[in-house]
Chains A and B, each alone.
Chain A
């Protein structure tokens, strides 16, 4: 029975959010906020795999997000919408509804392949040097897009709004929010399940002592490739969702170091190596950005200040590397993970 609580809660949330949006009870503004929350949760838990669980310092996550955004954005526009560059839709517009998630997955795969650009140097480099490499990859991706005139260069790429409108014309539903919700749940489960496995625990062994990990039979290179590809792939997935936001455009300026920093802030606020911390902080931070929106540029005074205060008061982030269920053990009865049954028995 207790194993059903979590799926039921997820289902309930899904019904409330999607149903509410469909019926118009949740207005366009709040739908947008919910969309950003979902995307930010994916970005945060995925970066947490590298910066929290693996203890590396990747600061170019927005670069991988950009790859996913452009690849899946271009793909859906080419396939399902009338476009100046790509001409008439290649496929019947109605196919957009079942094929949309596939386009997202292609974007994710593209981003995870670019992730190899970071994974391979990570065999030999750690810490500061690897951080610089991730930064470089972020710049490379952004500059590459800026120099591709076909896809709009620095002005950005448009047309995704037509795709979403076409989908809504075929069948009216908050499609983007639906897929964002599903992708968010999938991302959280992927990271949680992987990190519960003996294979995934190798990631933490690398953080704690990489040499000992390799000497104790962990194939550290393979683990690093998996971790980077998984993390970058999920960032690409988040990017693909973001590309189809109601604004209807993406441009390279969105995927700068500033965006990467934002994602890092969410990871550190929530706590390294804590999935529930990442979720809480992604929600909190997205709402905070909305509250601070009237401040304009000055929010970039308030947010770093907040981070400084946080680091002074609670350097480990909201949850450190614990989960909500460790802080409130009673919750385990509802959300407890079967794998943790040993821990339950010893309480």
Chain B
């Protein structure tokens, strides 16, 4: 059974049909790309899957659980983590706190303990902090732990966002244009990082990206949408030579 199954997903914004009849089967361990011109509906698909929007129609299943109608934090707790197209870190909080907070769904102590700081609280908080520091170490960012997120360089902020998504312990990681705004050197590092976390965390990855270098390099399978409609699906080579895709991108520089 596929890990993530999406069936006939459709979403209307008022009179605008942003996503129409979108289908996807994501197998455990796959790395799949989602591309399309600006305004094609890519981010909307991610927002539907993570519960930020409730779909007008369609079904989303994660490992047999229906996700439609759940609140975003519940979906995240079930194992879908994500990053955002424009960075959405909690700017005035430290990097460590950004990572810590993403452990929220696994906190077992209650409200009383959060105030009284009993033994169980201290044990759990110690674990959370250790896990958060470990994660930062994997990302080579332990020296930033006590910096405010807003003070980090752009590339580092992008990495913190990925680390924060991983702190939610996802099975499927959704990356929305992680290479946006990066220079070629940083993109190279990002590709290595994605490959590394994929292995280390046993992740299934679904990535939206405009940078063809990223998509063609790491994706095993790509889906192309335009005006909310799926126009092509296949391996990077198949997609590159698909006339419909070339037409959709006509006038865009990316191809």
Residues of A within 8 A of B (CB): 189-190, 193-194, 197-202, 204-205, 207-209, 211-221, 226, 321, 339, 342-343, 346
Contacts and interface: CB of A to CB of B under 8 A. Distances in A.
Given A190-B115, A197-B114, A343-B146, A216 B92 contact: no
Nearest to B121: A197
Contact of A198 (B115, B116, B125): B125
A199 B50 contact: no
B72 A215 contact: yes
A20 B73 CA distance: 53
Nearest to B92: A208
Contacts of A219: 71, 73, 104-105
A211 B116 CA distance: 29
For the complex of A and B, 9 pairs with smallest distance between CB atoms: A208-B90, A217-B105, A197-B114, A212-B88, A217-B76, A199-B114, A214-B72, A218-B104, A216-B102
Interface stretch (B93-101, B177-185, B208-216, B247-255): B93-101
Contacts of B88: 209, 211-212
B146 A198 contact: no
Name the residue among B72, B91, B93, B103 with the largest chain A CB count within 10 angstroms.
B72
Contact of B76 (A216, A321, A339): A216
A198 B104 contact: yes
B101 A213 contact: yes
B50 A205 contact: no
24 contacts: A198-B100, A198-B104, A198-B107, A199-B107, A202-B101, A204-B93, A205-B90, A209-B88, A212-B90, A213-B90, A213-B101, A214-B71, A214-B72, A215-B50, A215-B76, A216-B165, A216-B168, A220-B73, A221-B71, A321-B92, A339-B125, A342-B96, A342-B129, A342-B145
Contacts of A217: 73, 76-77, 102-105, 168
Name the residue among A194, A207, A214 with the largest chain B CB count within 10 angstroms.
A214
B128 interface: yes
Nearest to A55: B92
B101 A197 contact: no
A49 to B, nearest CB: 12
Given A193-B117, A321-B92, A198 B101 contact: yes
B16 interface: no
Given A215-B52, A219-B105, 9 more contacts: A193-B116, A194-B114, A201-B97, A208-B90, A211-B52, A215-B50, A216-B165, A216-B168, A217-B105
B22 interface: no
Nearest to B71: A214
Interface size class of B (residues with CB under 8 A): 35 or more
Contacts of A194: 114-115
A208 B93 contact: yes
B109 interface: yes
A211 to B, nearest CB: 7
Interface of A (DSSP majority class): helix
B175 to A, nearest CB: 14
B84 interface: yes
Nearest to A215: B72
B128 A198 contact: yes
A199 B107 CA distance: 7
B146 A346 contact: yes
B111 interface: yes
Nearest to B117: A193
A214 B73 contact: yes
A202 B104 contact: yes
A216 to B, nearest CB: 5
Given A197-B114, A217-B168, A220-B73, A204 B100 contact: no
Given A193-B117, A215-B76, A217-B77, A201 B145 contact: no
Contacts of A342: 96, 129, 145-146
Interface in B100-152: 100-105, 107, 109, 111, 114-117, 121, 125, 128-129, 145-146
A198 B130 CA distance: 13
A224 to B, nearest CB: 12
Contact of B73 (A197, A215, A321, A343): A215
A215 to B, nearest CB: 5
B42 interface: no
B221 interface: no
